[in-house]
Copies of this chain bind each other. A is one copy, B any other.
């Protein structure tokens, strides 16, 4: 992409409404624009990152055997009356009346609807297990939306729903999603720690929150620091095998958010030298809730014994839009964002120090073509802005590499590359620079 044709409205000033780093940096880097309280337009740079998060989540869901579908944003109120949650949900549910005075709502979550879909078609244990997921915009009418995409009202979620005949099989499905989540967040360059959690309004007695550690995180967390070194399952993990050993490994050490922290247990179970108090951001949560929805909604399957029983369910959420903010909270400095390589909206920024100079232009085009061919998705700053401004923008938008090409270097046969994360710079011939970036 050529910056002169792109739409990247960076802000020079810190926006006064942004209280946290990710919100401030997303506004400044031209990723986001607020359209109403807690409702945002994703400008092109932000949209590219959002799509990358979505795609990693999708790939890991598919790998774990979940099947993608898509439920609508609006739902009938009557569906929520079946589970009894319509009245429970309170003011955070955005209630809507259509032109025929039908009561509807903008879905804050989809347990009811997926149960309705399941019960319409699946009646036999022979069709189990099933795990259905979707990635869709949801709405929660927060009393006081703030912190940008970290606590917006309209937000993008992945949620998966598992269906099994028995509780044991249901727990095996739960384990699959648990492992998929470890992989998912690790691929995004995040340290995400599963922590035992309250299940709240979703229900059930088995639930984990996946918490990304970030200095600017929303809540305090207490953990055994050996959790930071646990191995994340590789892409060859066998989802058909018993995953209990992986679950045990990732849940036997102490890790808790401040909401459920038990100081006494922490001190008893965790040697003082291994204790780590940090801050964290929730990016996903898994729930196993058995027949909480299937029983009132009569989602029954016939077992091998001919007897109908309510299906055993779990649900598994990932905050897709929230993750964009979480990644920034976990990875930024005073100059701007530092994208982990897989999440970067562009892999490398090429800075043309003198557009209009035929030699510089030509070298930039050559680099652009080579990096594009190598799949590095370069962003070429071919604008008339001064070098200082170009450098500041590149640091702000946080692409992993910068390739700086100017007339003085070219006269000596060299260009400069800079690694955003470390600030390390190298001066070398153009072809070698491209090779280094592609390595």
Q: Are B41 and A113 in contact (CB under 8 A)?
A: yes
Q: C-beta contact mask, A85-121 vs B, less than 8 Å → 1, else 0?
A: 0000001101010110010101000000100110011
Question: When chains A and B are docked, how far (Å) is the Cα of A43 from the Cα of B133?
Answer: 10
Question: Which B-chain residue is minimally distant from A31 (CB atoms)?
Answer: B69
Question: When chains A and B are docked, how far (Å) is the Cα of A113 from the Cα of B74?
Answer: 21
Q: C-beta contact mask, A6-23 vs B, less than 8 Å → 1, else 0?
A: 110100000000000000
Q: Is A130 an interface residue (CB 8 A)?
A: yes
Question: Which B-chain residue is minimally distant from A141 (CB atoms)?
Answer: B99
Q: Are B7 and A69 in contact (CB under 8 A)?
A: yes
Q: Are B70 and A117 in contact (CB under 8 A)?
A: no
Question: When chains A and B are docked, how far (Å) is the Cα of A435 from the Cα of B43?
Answer: 45
Question: When chains A and B are docked, how far (Å) is the Cα of A161 from the Cα of B138?
Answer: 25
Q: Are A65 and B5 in contact (CB under 8 A)?
A: yes
A106 to chain B, nearest CB (A): 8
Query: Which of A75, A98, A104: most chain B Cβ within 10 A?
Result: A98
Q: Are A41 and B69 in contact (CB under 8 A)?
A: yes
Q: Which residues of B contact A42 (CB under 8 A)?
A: 69-71
Q: Which residues of B contact A98 (CB under 8 A)?
A: 94, 141
Of the four ranges (under 10, 10 to 19, 20 to 34, 35 or more), the interface on chain A belongs to: 35 or more
Question: Which B-chain residue is minimally distant from A35 (CB atoms)?
Answer: B72
Question: Which B-chain residue is minimally distant from A76 (CB atoms)?
Answer: B36
Q: Is A165 an interface residue (CB 8 A)?
A: no
Question: When chains A and B are docked, how far (Å) is the Cα of A374 from the Cα of B252?
Answer: 44
A152 to chain B, nearest CB (A): 9
Instruction: Select one of B92, B117, B137 contacting A33, CB under 8 A.
Output: B117
Q: Which residues of B contact A36 (CB under 8 A)?
A: 72, 74-76, 102, 104
Question: When chains A and B are docked, how far (Å) is the Cα of A46 from the Cα of B6?
Answer: 33
Instruction: Select one of B46, B68, B72, B104 contacting A44, CB under 8 A.
Output: B68
Q: Is A247 an interface residue (CB 8 A)?
A: no
A164 to chain B, nearest CB (A): 14
Q: Which residues of B contact A122 (CB under 8 A)?
A: 9
Q: C-beta contact mask, A40-76 vs B, less than 8 Å → 1, else 0?
A: 1111101100100000000000000101111111111
Q: Is A132 an interface residue (CB 8 A)?
A: yes
Q: Are A41 and B67 in contact (CB under 8 A)?
A: no
Q: Which residues of B contact A130 (CB under 8 A)?
A: 7
Question: Which B-chain residue is minimally distant from A130 (CB atoms)?
Answer: B7
Question: When chains A and B are docked, how far (Å) is the Cα of A106 from the Cα of B94?
Answer: 12
Query: Which of A5, A72, A117, A132: most chain B Cβ within 10 A?
Result: A72
Question: When chains A and B are docked, how far (Å) is the Cα of A121 from the Cα of B7?
Answer: 9
Q: Is A422 an interface residue (CB 8 A)?
A: no
Q: Which residues of B contact A43 (CB under 8 A)?
A: 69, 117
Q: Is A39 an interface residue (CB 8 A)?
A: yes
Q: Is A159 an interface residue (CB 8 A)?
A: no
Question: Which B-chain residue is minimally distant from A10 (CB atoms)?
Answer: B121
A45 to chain B, nearest CB (A): 9
Q: Which residues of B contact A37 (CB under 8 A)?
A: 102
A53 to chain B, nearest CB (A): 13
A74 with B117, Cβ < 8 A, contacts A44-B67, A47-B69, A96-B96 known:
no
> 9 A–B contact pairs at CB < 8 A?
A7-B121, A36-B104, A41-B70, A41-B72, A43-B117, A47-B69, A50-B70, A73-B154, A98-B141
